[in-house]
Amino acid sequence: MFDGSRFTVCDPGSARIEIVAAGAGEAPVRQFSDLEALLGRRSGQVVFAMNAGMYDEAGRPIGLAIVAGKQKHAINRRKGGGNFHLMPNGVFYGTGGEWHVHTTGDFADSVTNRPEFATQSGPMLVIDGKLHPEFDNDGDSKKTRNAVGVDAQGRAHFVISEAPVSFGKLARYYRDVLKTPNALFLDGTVSQLWDPARERMDEGYPLGPFLVVENLR
């Protein structure tokens, strides 16, 4: 509980993180049940999964998406409307078990080697320890939302709200409780979680990119 709202926090520990996203001409996976079927026997190794990034009507990412070192969609620095273009937006990515959240500009300017996985979304929630400049402390727009942040020790924290919350409240939870200097909004309204250990598999809107955490031991 934080400020009257309930959140589910998922900690991947040392488990492997990957992105599932379709490139041009590929059929996207749209539901957790389809993801489970796609993974086959590997589905028994899933620690949790959640939707992870903005996508078009067909379910394909509209921002940077890297799957197993292969780029499915290039980084998107265009201006536009909607949450994704509430600048700055950002990128969650990882290489060799190290996980990071950067603004899109910082990622484009400083990351020279292609990471193992990446997903671009937006807006950023927390930027260098400060809330996104467009957020109120607890604004009027409230939706079920999910996000990711990385703390100073390099631990990733994935959060989904269990009821509609504002951007500001979710951002303050990351800044004040999880102590993440940078955190990235993944999506809202459509936000869903697959948590096999608790027999939870959310159903709802067709989704786009997925973030999957697997225990390979």
Look at residue 157 in the predicted model and tell me its pLDDT. 97
Report the percent of the chain where pLDDT is more than 70. Answer: 100
Residue 217 has pLDDT above 90, yes or no: no
Residue 16 forms part of a structural domain = yes
Q: How confident is the model at residue 14 (pLDDT cuts 50, 70, 90)?
A: confident
Any domain includes 24: yes
In this prediction, residue 94 carries a pLDDT of 97
Q: Is the peptide bond before 206 cis (omega within 30 degrees of 0)?
A: no
Instruction: Output the pLDDT for position 112.
Output: 92
Mean pLDDT of 116-145: 97
Asked whether residue 2 is assigned to any structural domain, the reply reads: no
Residue 1 maps to a domain: no
pTM of the model: 0.96
pLDDT of residue 96: 87
Number of domains in the chain: 1
Backbone angles phi, psi at 2, to 5 degrees: -145, 120
Q: Which domain holds residue 68?
A: 7-214
**pLDDT score, position 188:** 96
